[in-house]
Amino acid sequence: MKKFRKVLDGLTTSSPANPGGSPACGSAAGTPSTAPTPRELEIQETLMSEHFQICKTVRHGVPYQPTALAFDPVQKILAIGSRSGGVRLLGRPGVDCHCQHESGAAVLQLQFLINEGALVTACADDTLHLWNLRQRRPAILHSLKFNRERITFCHLPFQSKWLYVGTERGNTHIVNIESFILSGYVIMWNKAIELSTKTHPGPVVHLSDSPKDEGKLLIGFESGTIVMWDLRAKRTDFRIYYDEAIHSASWHHEGRQFMCSHSDGSLSMWNLRNTAKPFQVTFPHGKTQRDGRKESCKPILKVEYKTSRNSSEAFVVFSGGLSYDKAGRRPTLTIMHGKAITVLEMDYPIVDFLVLCETPYINEVQEPYAVVVLLEKDFVVVDLTQSNFPIFENPYPMDIHESPVTCTAYFADCPPDIIPVLYSIGAKHKKTGYSHKEWPVSGGTWTVGSQTYPEIIITGHADGSIKFWDATAITLQMLYKLKTSKVFEKPKSGDVGRSAELVEEDPYAVQMISWCPQSRILCVVGISAHVILYRFSKHDASTTITSLEVRLQCEMEDVISPSDTENTPSFSDPSGHSPQPQPPSPRSNTPDSMRDSIPCLKVKDRMIRMPPGYQAELVVQLLWVDGEPPQQITSLDLNSAYGLLALGNCNGLTVVDYLQKTILLCMSTLELYGSADPFQRLTRSPRKNRQSTSGLTELSDNQVSLDLERSKSPTSESRENSFSRSRSSSVSSIDRETKEAVTTLQFAESYGRKSDTLPTPCLWVGTSLGLVLIIPMSIPTDEQERLEDPVTVAPTGTVLMLKGSILRIGFLDCGGALINSPYEVWRDQHAPDHPDRPRKRKLVNFSPSSSQEASGDGHLAVVCSERQAKVFFMPSQACLYVHNITESSFVLRADVVSVCNSVCLACFCANGHIMTLSLPSLRPLLDVNYLPLTDMRIARTFCFTNGGQALYLCSPTEIQRITYSQEMCDNLQEMLGELFTPIETPEAQNRGFLKGFFGGNAQTFDREELFGEAAAGKASRSLAQHIPGQGGMEGMKAAAGGVVGELARARIALDERGQRLGELEERTALMMTSAETFSKHAHELMLKCKDKKWYQF
């Protein structure tokens, strides 16, 4: 433990020497401090660098740009691959794991080693990977990189260790999944087709072994050629040449017939007895036209053909196949069962689907019970056991992106009663009509860890909706949804008096969220320059919404700083939701010059019935002024104990009394300084030109996408790409024509002047020029007086200075503990009156005279800007500690957070670094280059919370949670779910003597005998390169037998090897003795015979 001492005796108005080189930290105006100061400030800091480590914990949401799907029918684990190289593994709720290929190559296909705890992934860089799923954090055991051919399709038969790999050249290779080495057995395309064929059959698009005889392999080529290859005889049984391209094939379980889907929207059925032509061709969605021809249909991309024991009719499930003339129809999944055809419309394009069956054996009646459908931005499971095919209620949060996420807020250690209350209210509005059966993806095990506490994540969306999520114990479950757009009238078309088209696509998009969990008061900032205040009630109510309109416009010239060029105007969102763009200029028939004193949206002015939950009470809107649209709100703070709401933008500051529904203060930033303004400014006439920048939603998706999404405006792409390591980035700098912005606001019990002896309610205001103003307030203490007497607000001119835009302000007591803001305990305003319990305001930590014993000793103020952090002692305003956080980049988000029973300052920089600093000494404790480069979406959504946790939107559809606490990293294994559970593989059904005899099912097929090195030889070394994995296990046997078994086998093998070496040594010694004896006898014989002549022998 290290003690920090700072002697504060004899402090005067002048500040101590500033090592950071920034302006002096004292007040710009004031008298020598007469407030009592402690002789010595003694704080013991307990946090050390070993308390911190960066680690990803869990990812929520549907994988972005999914590409592949697989299911283990025994373990009941689902895998989803994505275009960015990610693999998501899902089991029962709580079993949710994300893995990432280091190459970032798209996942083409996934193959489970059924009930073995392993997964094979085929990627777009032509590499196969074997993942071990028997550990909570899956790792790669082996990789095999193909050098000369591109992988197009893979197939792994059940209980086989030989993987078939089809390539773009039409060849089929075979890989041993234990050693991950290629077999010398290759099915060349020119041997598979007839020699007389002049054209190449195209890439391999299908591989499957026959249910009737696993020694026969069905190979489908893209051109329409189908080959049945006899693996033993190394020749073709039959060849089919079809006119239409093949997309997929599926067997009947008896192995006598199979079905193919084609590019013309047809399904063809083939019988092995006669392969000259299909015995049935159907166009499920193609109607016969008057001229007798079938109407053209879209391709059927995949078909599955499954039999059921309870019905003589099979299930045929396929995607696509609709006729081209039905324009505008949504993507469909079709289920054919007998003569009944059911078409299920999907919200997004279908990427892949799988029919889940009761048995893993392909030669048994399949008994399908569900269909898993992977969509571009969703994931649904259809119940096949009910005739109306309902979907299952998804236990995973796959609808985070229902409307693009525009901001986030993260609250750890919430009041324990808030989650059940929100859930009970939200449950009343849940959708109905789901399947009553249990969720079929039920694999793995998960238990709630011992170290759990209530956590809530709030997301704001482009359509104005707010979602509350239960994030306790690394899970995520939706609690409650609120639509802020219901507060406003729907804009009428051609409404010239209003500027509802200010943000044409998303006028209600949420920019910022401020929530007080104790008082349950919620404030939402919207892109149309409005703030909505909500109170929570368990009862419905009929009420009117109060609307306050604010003219907040400034006519001052840009800042001219005489000395400090570091204080360049910089625009950064104080709440950490990242810099926010300005709305585009309205385009209307009304000239801009005629727009004055009108808000962007019209609040409903009639009595409204509000359901239980969050109920709007007050709307504050900024107005158009002289043809100028209102500037975006850049900062917000709410204090329930004071009953006050403060908001600021680049024009100035507004303070609202939401109890009395009045505006207390509306001033430009310059007016707040009074005579204490440290800069010279020039007056000027109002601006006539407009900003033209993109709306919030345009930044919600990464513009650099592989599917070339439509760009909503030319500026959106430039903004997305401009966010780089450079400090001169246009994202973080104010337009040269804008004014000094209010970038952070914080209500607190503090000292407005150096002469104050006791703390009073204050508002701390941080600006984009690195200045901090302290505004004291006088608030009546009596409840009745508070509702009747005015609150007085009096700017004092107290100014503190830092480099860069102010991001965060926090407070510590003289012992180094965090001082939380005062709050009002929640009370239900619409509950029926109770005579025994009058509904009075109950305030916590609020007392104008300050009941704290050490109140007269002052407190510490922690102020963090884009460039540096400072700790001030109040009320003397002396700068105790300074730390320059970054010179080459700038801080995007900073928070004073609780970690390991102590407090630190956590920072996230634009260059991707995450840093923590001790408090109050600002010692660097952690500095990790976590993200190599940050994009706009991450910048806007990154937020820290207590307990060493943080989150950000890693893609338009996914939330990534991380921890920077060593303790949580150590406990993560306990918190994560187990993907693999030891389960007995179900036994194959007894087929009976006659069926087995006449069916000809060759049970004695030995793949090892065919594909092993002894029979097939070695494959060419240049064809593929084996890469050992980083997973730590020696091979596939680790996945098949577990870590303990593998270690035991390795020990036994070593013993056997040692025993053999010992035997070899003994044999060598015997041979040496024998050789010496032989040499001796030979020498004696030579001596005996050397004098004899040849004829004497």
In the chain, how long is the greatest CA-to-CA distance?
145
What's the pLDDT at 1024?
Answer: 84
User: What is the number of helices (H) and of strands (E) in the chain?
Assistant: 11, 66
Distance of CA 453 to the CA centre of its chain: 21
Looking at residue 9, what is its pLDDT?
A: 37
Q: Cis before residue 920, ω within 30 degrees of 0?
A: yes
Give the closest residue to 64 by CA, choosing from 295, 300, 379, 291.
Answer: 379
Please give the backbone phi and psi of residue 735, each rounded to the nearest 5 degrees, phi first.
Answer: -55, 140
Quote the pLDDT of residue 211: 93
The confidence score (pLDDT) of residue 782 equals: 85
The pLDDT of residue 962: 94
Three-class SS of residue 1083? helix
Q: What pLDDT sits at residue 207?
A: 96
- Of the candidates 646, 648, 630, the one whose C-alpha atom is nearest the C-alpha of residue 638 is 646
Closest among 792, 739, 795 to 765, alpha carbons compared: 795
Share of the chain above pLDDT 70, in %: 78
**Do strands 510-516 and 477-483 pair parallel, antiparallel, or not at all (unpaired)?**
unpaired
Q: Where are the beta strands (DSSP E) in 518-612?
A: 521-526, 530-537, 541-543, 546-550, 556-560, 608-610
CA-to-CA separations, 129 to 100, 141, 161, 822, 1023, in angstroms, rounded: 11, 8, 14, 55, 16
Please tell me the distance from the alpha carbon of residue 877 to that of residue 888, in angstroms, as a whole number: 29
What's the pLDDT at 810? 95
Could you give the count of Cα atoms lying within 13 Å of 142 in the half-sphere of its Cβ? 23
> Within the chain, which residues score under 70 in pLDDT?
1-40, 196, 326-328, 449-451, 493-504, 554-595, 680-738, 834-839, 846-856, 933-934, 990-1004, 1031-1063, 1089-1097
Query: What is the predicted pLDDT for the residue at 934?
Result: 66
Residue in 650, 626, 931, 628 with CA at minimum distance from that of residue 769: 650
Which tens digits make up the pLDDT trace of 311-352?
A: 788 999 999 988 887 666 789 999 999 889 999 999 999 999
Alpha helices in 193-333 (DSSP H): none
Residue 108, both tokens: 């083409």
Q: Which two tokens stand for residue 944?
A: 């820290």
Q: What is the pLDDT of residue 899?
A: 92
Letter for the amino acid at 225? Answer: T
Given this model, what pLDDT does residue 843 score? 84
Q: How far apart are CA 558 and CA 669, in angstroms?
A: 12
Q: What is the pLDDT of residue 673?
A: 83
Q: Determine the pLDDT at residue 24.
A: 39
Structure tokens, 212 = 């009737």
Question: What DSSP assignment string belongs to 184-202?
Answer: EEEE-HHHHS-TT--S---
